[in-house]
Amino acid sequence: MNILFDNTYAQLPERFFAKEESARVPEPRLVRLNLGLAAKLSLDADWLKSTEGVAMLAGNAIPEGAEPIAQAYAGHQFGGFSPQLGDGRALLLGEVIGSDGARYDLQLKGSGRTRFSRGGDGKSALGPVLREYIVSEAMSALGVPTTRALAAVATGEKVMRQDGPLPGGVFTRIAASHIRVGTFQYFLARSDMDGLQVLANYVIARHYPAAAQAPNPYMALLESVANSQADLIAQWMSLGFIHGVMNTDNTAISGETIDYGPCAFMDAFHPQCVYSSIDSGGRYAWGNQPNIGLWNVTRFAETLLPLLSEDPDEATKLAKTALTGYPDRFGSQYDARFRAKFGLPREAPVTLMEECLGLLAAQEVDFTIFFRNLTRVAAGEDPKTLIAMFSSKEPFEQWFAKWYGEANPVRHLAAMRGANPILIPRNHRVEQAIQSGCVGEFAPFHRLVDALSSPFTEQDEYADLEMPPRPEEIVHETFCGT
């Protein structure tokens, strides 16, 4: 197949990346191909499913026009800075132009060692491949800016992890780009001001072209990235999503959600909810995500200081000015999304939403099902099912009476239905799909992906996937796939 690559990142100076080759795998098997996304990228699905296509998706063959590179970047990981990270188990094959006219990266994850592997094998176990496919496609269907899944491949080999040998896999990821806050930090750490300027100009041209017309393009770039992160995190939180590892190397400059390692959607609501096994201090808890987002874009601002002004004091002043808009931007997005979830007009007091979230946390009420049932009540159903979710009913009944007096269900029902999904990728269902897939049974994986493609639609055949976990099914920890 002739993939029409139009590679621009590989044309940047060579210190931006390392040219690499993918590792061969013994028995590649296509687990799933995203037909809709393939069509959007003008890729021939029949060829991708062929022996030659699967060889490409597994890394056994590099198509003509591809320029495989591992991108260089640094990053703060749980607050500690690493001056060199980079793609230790991924290769950017190249860029393609979609049918929408947008530019997309085509990347293989789990494709073998690179210069940045830091002692690792560069491979991926199949479990993280299935997880990223499920959750990234669910996020896309939920309307969240995100990287996408083009394909999942089982490699027919075993990779060694702490739990012993696990089946291997390769994931084909599509992204607006893979440029991160950590990419900028890589050049700042080396005092490479020319590299910083080349990168910033590239990002402006690729992602934020309007910034080029601003009086100070680099200040406009900073404001644009800060706004995109504020918008993204507000959307995460309205869905009960916890990224789990909001390091600066996992903060995409494009504003997309990237890297689905120890991520999770909350079952029982709590602001300090954490699932990640490596987040022992709760740094990336649900309620901490807005402040971490500001922390991350502040690190981005630091990298732009040399470009904002030759005068260090003036540069700092400009950066602070650009960042002052983040809290209001996040607050307005968060408020709008939660008002839609509650079906409340702008004039309704914000304390009404805060009071309810406090009740959900205190009584450990399922976040998604609560808003699902509230939407049903707005549609005219009896509130008894909603009230039954609370072990202590009187406080909720008092809140409900106030809500009913403020909300206009008929007027806001469409907004509620658009803000409150029926299906999310519940942790126990994701784990079940992974466990089955790791023994060669992919039916639960396919069923879950199919169901999550229409998360706001009533689907009787998938009603079981709406249910919260039974006590023995509760997932208490999620794990990074590295």
85 Cβ neighbours under 8 A, 6+ residues apart: 73, 74, 75, 77, 116, 118, 182, 249
What dihedral do alpha carbons 107, 242, 379, 454 form, nearest 10°?
20
CA dist., res. 481 & res. 127, Å (int): 8
CA dist., res. 162 & res. 482, Å (int): 11
Say if CB 273 and CB 286 are below 8 A apart. Answer: yes
Instruction: For tokens 């940047």, name the residue.
Output: 12
Strands 164-175 and 264-265: unpaired
CA dist., res. 182 & res. 327, Å (int): 22
CA dist., res. 8 & res. 10, Å (int): 5
290: three-class secondary structure by DSSP: helix
Say if CB 419 and CB 340 are below 8 A apart. Answer: yes
CA dist., res. 280 & res. 261, Å (int): 15
Say if CB 360 and CB 408 are below 8 A apart. Answer: no
Report residue 48: phi and psi, to 5°: -60, -30
Q: How many helices (H) and strands (E) does the chain have?
A: 17, 12
Cα separations (Å) of 76 from 87, 184, 296, 300, 371? 15, 12, 9, 11, 35
Catalytic residue among 87, 105, 249, 366: 249
Residue 249 among the catalytic residues:
yes
In degrees, to the nearest 5, what angle opens at C-alpha 132 toward C-alphas 277 and 146?
110
CA dist., res. 446 & res. 449, Å (int): 5
Cα separations (Å) of 201 from 179, 204, 221, 256, 317? 13, 5, 9, 19, 21
279 Cβ neighbours under 8 A, 6+ residues apart: 78, 244, 245, 262, 285
Q: Which residues are catalytic?
A: 249
